[in-house]
Amino acid sequence: MGYGSYSYEAHETMTRARSELPRQEVFRQERCHPLMEPQGVKWRESRDSEAHPQSLGIIFSLDVTGSMGEIPDLLARHRLPAFMKALLSAGIPDPQVLFMAVGDANGDRAPLQVGQFESSERQMDQWLTWSYLEGGGGAAGTESYELGMYFAARHTELDCWRKRKHRGYFFMTGDERPYGYVSRKQVAQLIGDTLEQDLPVKQVVDELQLTYEPFFLIPDLARRRNCERDWRELLGDRVICMEDPTDTVEVAAGLVGLCEGAFSDLDALARHLKKQDLTRQRLGAVIRALTPFAATLGRDGVPRPPLEDEHLPTNDDNSGHRRLR
């Protein structure tokens, strides 16, 4: 998938027309949409084409439990066009976006929903608004985030990786802890795979990062207390603590731009974001959220003394991105 062209103007018009509608008028599904059922899906594909020769696969895996439904709603009614505009204006030519919706497999009717990689505004919007915002969730401070990571690791194929050994991006929003393992019973029931045993969540993260740059976005500082420690054990500085969920778009676009080298450092990113009409307060919040990760890339703007031995090994891989420790 990933065909069609993108128009920011058309996308902005689409979202502005429903910006004042209640959530239930935008997200009308009362169960998982049949086309978003993961059962039996072999691949979701991000492919190059004549119109998109440098495709870059990007997944938004959105927590749609009761405490997290505001982020899909913000994207659908206000913010998704700004994400695409930020990427395109930063020189990322062919982004292809897939939306997932994640809940809790121990109680929800639709704990995993999966769209397709798309390039056009209409198709992206279709999958996003087809998501069923079930509003359920787990009872013990955990959600089935690991199922979204498992699906991305084993059931997506990206031309950016297959042809160019260039990773895509995986953004997961959430405010709870993951389960410690991927249940083979849940995988069989929801996806159809046969596993010999449960998989430790760390193994799934390791598989995911082979083809994706993974990030976990916590919506605000109050909710970081619920889950930050557990996620940092898995993802380190790729856990991004935002100050407000409205910053999701700028934070995600900033992460792509920093990793892709579109911005040399946070100052360059800040100058770019100023052109997007961000208020001074929101600009500061975005930069603060990104500073710890930017430091791992050496792009936080802080001068560093030269190494005594310039040939010391690093954790960078052949794509130029820093691997998880």
* Total domain count, the chain: 1
What is the per-residue pLDDT for 316? 56
Residue 325, pLDDT above cutoff 50: no
- The answer as to whether 81 is a domain residue is yes
- The answer as to whether 183 is a domain residue is yes
- The answer as to whether 315 is a domain residue is no
- The answer as to whether 288 is a domain residue is no
Instruction: Choose among 24, 45, 14: nearest CA to 121.
Output: 14
What digits encode the pLDDT tens for the residues 194-222?
999 999 999 999 999 999 999 999 999 99
Instruction: Choose among 199, 174, 155: nearest CA to 38.
Output: 155
Residue 305, pLDDT above cutoff 80: no
- The answer as to whether 279 is a domain residue is no
- The answer as to whether 23 is a domain residue is yes
> What is the pairing mode between strands 112-114 and 199-200?
unpaired
Please tell me the distance from the alpha carbon of residue 235 to that of residue 122, in angstroms, as a whole number: 33
- The answer as to whether 270 is a domain residue is no
Percent of the chain with pLDDT over 90: 83
- The answer as to whether 324 is a domain residue is no
What is the per-residue pLDDT for 258? 97
What is the per-residue pLDDT for 195? 98
What's this model's pTM, rounded to 2 decimal places? 0.93
What digits encode the pLDDT tens for the residues 82-117?
999 999 988 999 999 999 999 999 999 999 999 999
Q: Crossing angle, helix 80-89 and helix 121-130, to 10 degrees?
A: 140
What digits encode the pLDDT tens for the residues 150-190?
999 999 999 999 999 999 999 999 999 999 999 999 999 99
Residue 320, pLDDT above cutoff 60: no
The better pLDDT of the pair 261, 311 is held by 261
Residue at 221: amino acid letter: L
User: Residue holding tokens 């916590």?
Assistant: 218
> For the domain that residue 48 is a member of, what is the CATH number?
3.40.50.410
Residue at 245: amino acid letter: P
What digits encode the pLDDT tens for the residues 249-280?
999 999 999 999 999 999 999 999 988 878 99
CB 180, CB 200: distance < 8 Å: yes
Per the prediction, the chain carries an average pLDDT of 92
Give every CB contact of residue 202 below 8 A, 6+ residues apart in sequence: 234
| Per-residue confidence band for 318, with pLDDT thresholds at 50, 70 and 90 | low
* Domain of 20, in residue numbers: 8-262
What is the per-residue pLDDT for 42? 97
